[in-house]
Amino acid sequence: MPDAFLVADDLHKSFNGHKAVNGVSFSIEKGEIFGLLGPNGAGKTTTIRILSTVLPPDRGDVTIGGHSVRRDADAVRRLIGVCPQELAFYPDMSALENLVFFGRMVGLDGGEAKAQAVTYLDLMGLSERTRGKVDKFSGGMKRRVNLAIALMGHPQLLFLDEPTVGIDPQSRNMIYETIERLRDGGMTVLYTTHYMEEADRLCSRVAIMDGGKVVALDTPRGLKHLIGRSEKATLEDVFLKLTGRGLRD
Amino acid sequence: MSRVLAIAVREVRSYFQDRADLVFGLALPIAVFALMYGAFSGGSLFNGTAYIVNEDPDGAYSRLLIERLDAKENLTVTLLSREEAEAKLSDSDILLVSIIPEEFSDRLSQSWSTQITFRQRGNGGMEGQIVAGMVRGEADALSQELQAERQVRLALAASGIGGEQATTTVQGLLQREKEAPIITVKETSIGGEASLVHQFMPGIVSMFVLFAVTLGSRAIVEERKKGTLERLLSTRVTVSELFAGKFVAGAARGFSQTVILLALAYAVFRLFTPVSFLLMLVVALVFSIAASALSLVIASVSRNDDQAVSISVVFTMATVMLGGTFFEIPEGSFLEAIGRASVNTYVNRAFATATTPGSGLTSVAYELVVLAGIAAVALVLSRSLFRAVQGGR
C-alpha cells in the first residue's frame, strides 16, 4: 500500500503469560480515520500503547511515517498525538496551562505553545474557559480538553482511545465535527470506540479485534456485507456476530 | 533542558497550591519549632518541683532550708502534708518527697545530727533524682555552715568573744564566699553548645526535609494515577528528562522548606552567626538534592500510592532513628556502625558542625561529599530501577 502512513506488522505483547496482542497487523492510509473496535480486553488499548511508543512490542514492529517504533521512537513521537481513554491532564491547572505544558513536552517553545493552546481551545469551544481550573469543568469540557492536548504540536497521526465516553450528545457531536475537520486538514486518525454508530459515521475502514487478534478489517459497508444483509445490518450486528454475545468483564 | 524546567516548575507550583502538602511540609515543622521555643527558650534546661513535707513548720532551720530551695530559679517548692504526700506517691502523681523531721531545727540548734528523708516511688524518676540532689546539696551546705559556726564559736569562747558576734562574722564570711567562690565551674562542649535546641534542631530540620521524600516518592505514581505518565511518555520528553524534572522539583521543594525552617531557627533561637547561617544553607541545599534523589529511587519502584508511602515511611523513620535525631548514639557502638548507612547521620553532623563557632566549608566538606555521592548514586539507580521494575523505557 503506497500511501500507508502507519504499518503494524505482526505485533505481539504478553503480560504474565497472557497474550494481550497476538499477531496484529494492519495499515492506515494518510488522511484516513481508521476505527479499531473490540470488546473489553480485546487488546485495543495495548495496541495503541505499542503504536504510540509507550510500550515496546515483544515481537513485530510498527512504522509510522517511515520510522520504526523500535529503532526510531523519538522520530515517531514527533509525528503522533495521543488522546488516552482516561482524562489525562493536571486538574489543579487551568485548561490553558495544561495545553501549554504538554505543548512544551512535544517540543514547542513557550510562545508557540501558547498560540497553539489558544487555537485548539477555541476549536474545542473552550475559549471562554481557558483560565478555569480543569477540575471544575463538566465531563464534556474535560473530554474536549483531553482531545485538545493531543492536538498540541499539530501531530500527523492522532490516536483517539474512546474520546467520547460519558459525555452528552452536544459535546460528542462537537468532537465528531472536530475530528472530521482535522481529517479534512490531512490528519490521520486511529479511533477506538464502543459506540458502533460513531465508527460507522467517522471511519473509512474498521478493524475488529478480539482475543488480541484482528478478526475482521474492511470498510463499514464491507463489514456489513459479511453478515449478508447489508441493507438493514448495523455495525453492531457485525460486531456481535464476530465477537459473540458473551460478557467479557 | 526547557522540558526539565517546565516539569520542575509544574511540580513546585502544584506543591505550593496543595494545602495538605503545605501543612505537612511547612506548617507542621513551624509548629514543632514553636513548641521547642516554648519548652527551651527560658535559658535554663531544667525546671523541677521539690515536694516537701515539713514536719517542723515553726523551726528556723527548716524554714531557712525551704527558703533557700525556693530561691533557686529552676526549682519550685510545693509543701504537702504527710497524708497528701502519701496519697500522691501512692497514685504515682509524684515520685519523690523530701521529709523534714519534726525535731529538725531543735537538733540543729543544739548541734546534734538530724536526717532528711527522701520517700520515693521506685528510683524517684529522673526529675526526682535531680531534685533530691539539689535538696541534698543545700542541706550539706547548711550543715557545713552550722558546723563551721559551732567550731568558731567554741574556739572563740575562751577569748571572751560572744557567740552572737561569732555567728555574724561566720555568716558574713560565708556570704562573701558565695558571692566570690574560690572554686568555680566552667562548661565547655564539643560540636556546638550543649543546649537541647542545639542538640535537636539539626535533627528536626533534617527530619522534616526527609519527610519531603514521601511527597517525592509519589511523583511517578501520581502521574500514573492521573494518566499523564503514559501521555508524557508518548511525547518527546524522555524518561531521563521526566526524572530530572522531578528531581529538580524535589530539591527545590526541600531546600525552600529548609530555608524557612533555618530562618525561623535563626530568628527565634539566635543559633547562628550570618556566616554559619550561610554554611547551613549550603548543607541544606546538598541535603535537599540527596533527599530528592532518594525519593526518586522509591518513586521508580512504587506502583501505587500505598507502596510509595509505606516504603517512604519505613525509610525515613529508619534513617531518622539511625541518624541520632532523637537520642545521642554512643561512639563505637553497633548503632553508630549501622548509622553510617543513614543519610541523616551526615546531615545532622554537618548541621551541628555548622553551628559551631569557627566552622567553615572545609569543616563539613566530608559530609557534603558523602551527601553528593548519595545523590549521584540514587539518581543513576532510580533511572535503572524504573526501566527494570516498570518495564518501561
* Structure confidence by residue, pLDDT tens digits, B21-68: 777 767 777 777 677 666 655 555 578 899 999 999 999 999 999 999
- Looking at B179, B213, B231, the residue that finishes a domain is B179
SS3 B117: strand
Asked if residue B384 is part of any domain, the answer here is yes
Q: Strand runs (DSSP E) across B1-64, as ranges? A: 48-54
* Total domains in the fold of chain A: 2
- Is A82 within 8 Å of B230 when comparing Cβ atoms? yes
Size of chain B, expressed as the number of residues it contains: 393
| Cα Dmax for chain A | 55
In one letter, which amino acid is B292? S
B297–chain A nearest CA distance, Å: 21
- Is B236 within 8 Å of A89 when comparing Cβ atoms? no
ipTM reported for the complex, 2 dp: 0.86
A40 with A114, same domain: the answer is no
Asked if residue A183 is part of any domain, the answer here is no
- Looking at B179, B212, B240, the residue that finishes a domain is B179
Q: Name residues 148-187 of chain A within 8 A of B (Cβ).
A: 149
Asked if residue B184 is part of any domain, the answer here is no
- Nearest CB among A74, A91, A104 relative to B6 is that of A104
CA B14, B19, B22: angle at the middle one, nearest 5? 80
Q: What range defines the domain where residue B52 resides?
A: 48-179
B214 with B117, same domain: the answer is no
Asked if residue B189 is part of any domain, the answer here is no
B150 with B228, same domain: the answer is no
pLDDT of chain B along its 393 residues, tens only? Answer: 788 999 998 888 887 777 777 777 677 777 776 776 666 555 555 788 999 999 999 999 999 999 999 998 888 999 999 999 999 999 888 999 999 999 999 998 888 889 999 999 888 888 889 999 999 999 998 888 888 888 887 787 777 777 777 778 888 888 888 788 888 777 665 544 555 566 677 777 777 777 777 778 888 888 888 889 889 988 988 888 988 999 999 898 888 888 887 787 777 766 677 888 888 889 989 999 998 999 889 888 888 888 888 988 888 888 888 877 777 777 778 888 888 888 888 888 888 888 777 778 888 899 999 999 999 999 989 888 887 775 555
Asked if residue A99 is part of any domain, the answer here is yes
In one letter, which amino acid is A93? M
Residue with C-alpha cell 503506497? A2
Beta partners for A161?
A192
By C-alpha distance, the chain B residue nearest A45 is: B230
Cα–Cα distance measured from residue B120 to residue B122, given in angstroms and rounded to the nearest whole number:
6
Asked if residue B186 is part of any domain, the answer here is no
Q: Which of A55, A104, A133 to mutate to test the interface with B (most CBs of B within 10 A)?
A: A104
A42 with A161, same domain: the answer is yes
A161 with A209, same domain: the answer is yes
By C-alpha distance, the chain B residue nearest A92 is: B14
B173 with B275, same domain: the answer is no
Chain A CB within 8 Å of residue B232 CB: yes
C-alpha distances in angstroms, A147 versus A77, A88, A178, B10? 17, 10, 10, 21
pLDDT of chain A along its 249 residues, tens only? Answer: 457 899 999 999 998 888 989 999 999 999 999 999 888 888 888 999 999 998 899 999 999 999 999 999 899 999 999 998 889 999 989 999 999 999 999 989 989 999 999 999 998 888 888 888 888 888 888 989 999 999 999 999 999 988 888 888 888 888 888 899 999 999 999 999 888 888 888 899 999 898 889 888 988 888 888 777 656 777 777 777 767 666 666
Copy the grid coordinates of residue A187.
490528519
- Is A88 within 8 Å of B230 when comparing Cβ atoms? yes
Query: Which pairs with CB-CB distance under 8 Å and at least 24 residues apart come from A26-31?
Result: A26/A207, A26/A214, A26/A217, A27/A1, A28/A4, A28/A157, A28/A188, A28/A190, A29/A1, A29/A3, A29/A4, A29/A5, A29/A188, A30/A3, A30/A4, A30/A5, A30/A156, A30/A186, A30/A188, A31/A183, A31/A186, A31/A187, A31/A188
Q: What range defines the domain where residue A63 resides?
A: 1-79+157-169+188-249
- Is A104 within 8 Å of B233 when comparing Cβ atoms? no
Asked if residue B187 is part of any domain, the answer here is no
Give the predicted TM-score (pTM) of the model: 0.71
- Is B236 within 8 Å of A86 when comparing Cβ atoms? no
The CATH number assigned to the domain holding A234 equals: 3.40.50.300
By C-alpha distance, the chain A residue nearest B229 is: A88
Q: Name residues 14-73 of chain B within 8 A of A (Cβ).
A: 14, 17-18
* Total domains in the fold of chain B: 2
